[in-house]
Amino acid sequence: MIKPLLTMLMISLLICITGMTVIWVVGSYLACFFVQGCYQALGAAGVLGTISVKSILSKGVLLALVFTVFGWLKMRQR
């Protein structure tokens, strides 16, 4: 019972943290798209510098834990 849960947690962590990173990068670029002159002032490195790694990791881990709990409940019903 423990091994499938750990596998599910690791896969969920990989998917959720990667997804949160992609969403954050796309959101930063879209936010900069609507501000006139943002790309010239900050450049690509400056826009990517606005990304909060702590926020990505905390939200990704919480989301992965929620998915793991739902998966555990689904496994118990079988």
Q: What is the model's pLDDT at position 50? A: 76
Dihedral (Cα; 28, 25, 66, 57), 10-degree rounding: -100
| Mean pLDDT confidence for 40-61 | 80
Query: Helix 2-33 to helix 53-77 angle, to the nearest 10 degrees?
Result: 140
**pLDDT of 60 above 80:** yes
| Mean pLDDT confidence for 15-40 | 82
* pTM check: above 0.75: yes
